Amino acid sequence: MAAGARGRFITFEGIEGAGKSTQLERLLRRFGGRGPEVVVTREPGGTALGERLRGLLLDPSIGTMAAETELLLIFAARAEHLRRCIEPALARGAWVFCDRFTDASFAYQGAGRGLGPNKVEVLENWLQGDLRPDLVLVFDVPARLGLERALTRGKRDRMETEDVAFFERARAAYLERARGQPHRYRVLDGSLDEDSVAAAVDAAWTNWLDETDRGAVPGNDV
């Protein structure tokens, strides 16, 4: 990458139990140390304030929260994340790998909570301007399978207490967004075994890098 060039922004998305966090770790083990600086982060979170808000959002003792409150708290964490972590990293040429980003808000609050995409878009445009992920890897699993996997991790967080219908709505929103922007999204079958998914990630990653090198994939010049 040329001196002064903007970094790249890669996000990992999917409903609970889709395997995105595991595959992020695996890809980083293969990618790390062989290129530019890499920043690994997550949402909600990524900053001291963001992690505090994450704890609040996922605390099952909070119980029911107004959908609008949930969305605004997530975007409050995202605003801090953008200004203090993501934007500075991209500006210095780092590659940012993020476990969830705004696609999760469209899926969980827009579709899952029934707020619709318009409210999410207003906040997205206000806080992010033209910034969007360069590559979004969506790990797709049926909601029931994802929840079964999530339950094996132990105590459920507040999001994991939702029913199957909630996660089916979120899953459908992810897939709809991916269909609308195929140049930025890659949908991977997360129901396969971990090694098979990792092989699919490698293929998608290699293909995207080749397209990027040829200039076939537009970047964010912000």
In a domain, 222, yes or no: no
| Nearest partner of 82 among 48, 47, 109, 107, judged by Cα | 47
What CATH number is associated with residue 114?
Answer: 3.40.50.300
In a domain, 218, yes or no: no
In a domain, 147, yes or no: yes
Per this entry, what is the length of the chain? 222
**Residue 58: what pLDDT?**
95
The pLDDT mean for the chain works out to 92
In a domain, 142, yes or no: yes
Query: How many domains does the chain divide into?
Result: 1
Is residue 80 classed as helix, strand or coil in its secondary structure? helix
Q: C-alpha angle with apex 161: 159 to 162, nearest 5 degrees?
A: 75
Per residue in 11-50, pLDDT tens?
999 999 999 999 999 998 887 666 789 999 999 999 999 9
On the question of pLDDT at 2 being above 50, the answer is no
H helical segments located in the chain: 20-31, 48-58, 67-81, 87-91, 102-105, 117-128, 143-151, 164-180, 194-213
**Spatial distance between the Cα atoms of 79 and 144, rounded to a whole number of angstroms:** 32
**Residue 75: what pLDDT?**
98
**Spatial distance between the Cα atoms of 180 and 182, rounded to a whole number of angstroms:** 6
Per the structure, the complete domain to which residue 85 belongs is given by: 9-213
